Amino acid sequence: MEPSKDYLFKYKGFYFSLETSPEYLDSLEDFEIKDSDIFIATYPKSGTVWTQNILSLIIHEGHRNGTENMETLDRIPWLEYNIKNAAYANLPSPRVFATHLPYYLVPRDLRNKRARVIYVTRNPKDVMVSYYHFSKFICTLEEVPDFNIFMERFLAGKVLASSWLDHVEGWYSHAEDFNILFLTYEEMKKDLRSAVLKICNFLGKKLSEEELDSVVRQATFENMRKDPRANYENLPENLAEKNKGSFLRKGTVGDWKNTMTVAQNERFDKVLTEKMKTLPIKFTWDINNM
Ligand code: A3P
């Protein structure tokens, strides 16, 4: 079954929500990149907001010490959803953008190794379950109450951002075109401090031990959940149904086991897990294996 046109449209083989337009997406090819720009690229539900918050904490002292109160969406705008693009030019350097774009739709200069990209992946069963819950909460996504139907759509790539495998495979197999750091959600979960250090090294940013401690403390699930900016609590009502969930939901590894049946897991493995074997990533499916 095709996704409803009330929610998604296809542009160059990739599903977008109606908050953007083909004309705007066309314009991104020529988007003016600064060498200092940083792009967080992800498939949805892989840890985007988490990485956005980590970068805000690393880069902006005022975010870290609480002297500035800026919404995450203003601090790190969404590249392909032209909500506030008039303000892009005025963002302080380094500018940071978030994107779910596949590798082949990003601005040309990014593909010429200008600017930095941080690409975060997460095991796709947890991605899918997170996505399922998120669809209930975000008004611009179609709510699919039956998990079985949602899973079939996910496996067929008939959801916003299309196929998980194509997204991840595309970015990994074109890594050489980019100045890119790959991270996984699970490694961030296992050792947040090391992940923050990896990001600092990639950015060439030196933090003191105290600053580092402060970033790590404020980027834990529990502390981010308490922070309305980090939890995206100030989204407009036409975007999120707050009584139906929150951005920071469970934040664990292996939550898929609480939703997927044995049969669904077998079906998933048959369709996707086999194809994943060619990916150069070792996925962690269970918190006990970390
Ligand atoms: P769950 O729905 O499994 O809880 P994205 O930002 O790409 O949409 O990803 C959202 C997922 O990242 C959600 O997963 C959310 O809880 C999780 N997440 C966000 N911040 C986190 C943190 N500090 N630690 C662990 N998980 C986090």
pLDDT in tens, 119-159: 999 999 999 999 999 998 888 888 888 999 999 999 999 99
Say what the pLDDT of residue 85 is: 60
Please tell me the pTM assigned to this model. Answer: 0.96
Give the other-Cβ count within 10 Å of 79's Cβ. 23
- Catalytic pick from 63, 100, 133, 167? 100
Q: Is the CB of 98 under 6 A from ligand 1?
A: no
Burial class (CB within 10 angstroms; exposed 0-12, middle 13-18, buried 19+) of 23: exposed
**Given pLDDT bands bounded at 50, 70 and 90, which one contains residue 91?**
confident
Q: Higher confidence at residue 238 or residue 175? A: 175
Helix (H, G, I), strand (E, B) or coil at 48: helix
Nearest CA to 168 among 124, 199, 125?
124
One-letter amino acid of 160: L
Question: Is 60 one of the catalytic residues?
Answer: no
Q: Which atom of ligand 1 sits closest to the CA of residue 130? A: 2
With a pLDDT cut of 90, the percent of the chain lying above it is: 74
Cis ω for the linkage preceding 94 (within 30 of 0):
yes
Contact (Cβ atoms closer than 8 angstroms) between residue 230 and residue 68:
no
Q: Which atom of ligand 1 sits closest to the CA of residue 134? A: 2
Nearest CA to 34 among 144, 127, 115?
115
Q: Whose CA is nearest to atom 18 of ligand 1?
A: 251
Q: Is the CB of 49 under 6 A from ligand 1?
A: yes
Q: Which CATH architecture best describes the domain 8-289?
A: 3-Layer(aba) Sandwich (3.40)
Per-residue tokens: 264: 């669904």
Per-residue tokens: 131: 């996505």
For residue 84, pLDDT over 80 is answered with no
* Backbone Cα Rg of the chain: 18
Q: Is the CB of 225 under 6 A from ligand 1?
A: no
Q: Whose CA is nearest to atom 10 of ligand 1?
A: 45
Q: Is the CB of 135 under 6 A from ligand 1?
A: no
Residue 182 forms beta bridges with which residues? 119
Say what the pLDDT of residue 228 is: 83
> How far away, in angstroms, is 48 Cα from ligand 1 center?
7
Q: Is the CB of 224 under 6 A from ligand 1?
A: yes
Q: Report the alpha-carbon distance of residue 29 to residue 26 in Å, rounded.
A: 6
Q: What is the mean pLDDT of residues 20-28?
A: 93
> How far away, in angstroms, is 231 Cα from ligand 1 center?
9
Q: What is the mean pLDDT of residues 242-249?
A: 80
**Given pLDDT bands bounded at 50, 70 and 90, which one contains residue 83?**
low
Say what the pLDDT of residue 227 is: 86
